[in-house]
């Protein structure tokens, strides 16, 4: 069975960091995700998707993300069931985040932090290809550098690099 989801959107509100009774950090936020197609009326529709992150990922989100910031979330879909105050059974869907990436460019990200965070360690390497979902889904590599969609890009091909090895932006 497979339950993987990757979404990219803007935070609709600031993340709310809380702690469980045992002290585990948890944060929740909502992403506004535009659909790739237009409705019959010609307008783009937006879905508002609830996201929850745990432990150090929750602390990372709370520290570096705020309302309006673009985020790429990789995780699993979870359906929760509960009974409301009137005794009716309710259901809701949310994404439980495993990995969170900055979805906007480094120019907008003055925090100077890694564009990737996960409770499971560094991003997985996939045969030398870009491993950031933000590069696969937004045309940007982690941190806002334009990335080739076809795979590995030889660093020596960067003719704009200065002598100190810094990129010109």
Q: 100 with 71: CB under 8 angstroms?
A: yes
pTM: 0.62
What pLDDT is recorded for position 104?
Answer: 84
What pLDDT is recorded for position 115?
Answer: 52
What pLDDT is recorded for position 151?
Answer: 39
Per-residue pLDDT 10s for the chain (169 aa) are 999 999 999 999 999 999 999 999 999 999 999 998 888 888 989 999 999 999 999 999 999 999 999 999 999 999 999 899 999 999 999 999 999 999 986 544 455 555 555 555 554 444 443 333 333 333 333 333 333 334 334 444 444 445 555 555 4
What pLDDT is recorded for position 24?
Answer: 96
Three-state secondary structure readout of the chain: CCCCEEEEEEECCCCEEEECCCCCEEEEEEEEEEEEEECCCCCEEEEEEEEEEEHHHHHHHHHHCCCCCEEEEEEEEEEEEEECCCCCEEEEEEEEEEEEEECCCCCCCCCCCCCEEECCCCCCCECCECCCHHHHHHCECHHHCECCCCCCCCHHHCCCCCCCCCCCC
Q: CA–CA separation, 12 vs 8, rounded Å?
A: 12
What pLDDT is recorded for position 146?
Answer: 34
């Amino acid at each position: 069975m497979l339950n993987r989801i990757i979404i990219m959107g803007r935070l609709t509100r600031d993340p709310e960091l809380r702690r469980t009774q045992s002290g585990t950090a948890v944060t929740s936020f909502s992403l506004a995700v535009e659909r790739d197609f237009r409705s019959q009326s010609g307008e783009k529709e937006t879905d508002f998707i609830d996201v929850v992150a745990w432990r150090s990922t929750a602390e990372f989100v709370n520290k570096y993300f705020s309302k309006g910031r673009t985020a790429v979330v990789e995780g699993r879909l979870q359906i929760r069931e509960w009974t409301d105050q009137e005794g009716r059974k309710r259901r809701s869907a949310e994404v439980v985040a495993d990995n969170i990436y900055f979805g906007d460019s480094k120019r907008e990200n003055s925090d100077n932090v890694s564009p990737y965070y996960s409770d499971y360690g560094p991003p997985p390497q996939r045969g030398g290809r870009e491993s950031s979902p933000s590069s696969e889904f937004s045309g940007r590599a982690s941190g806002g550098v334009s990335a080739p969609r076809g795979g590995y890009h030889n660093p020596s091909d960067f003719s704009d690099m200065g002598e100190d090895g810094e990129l010109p932006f």
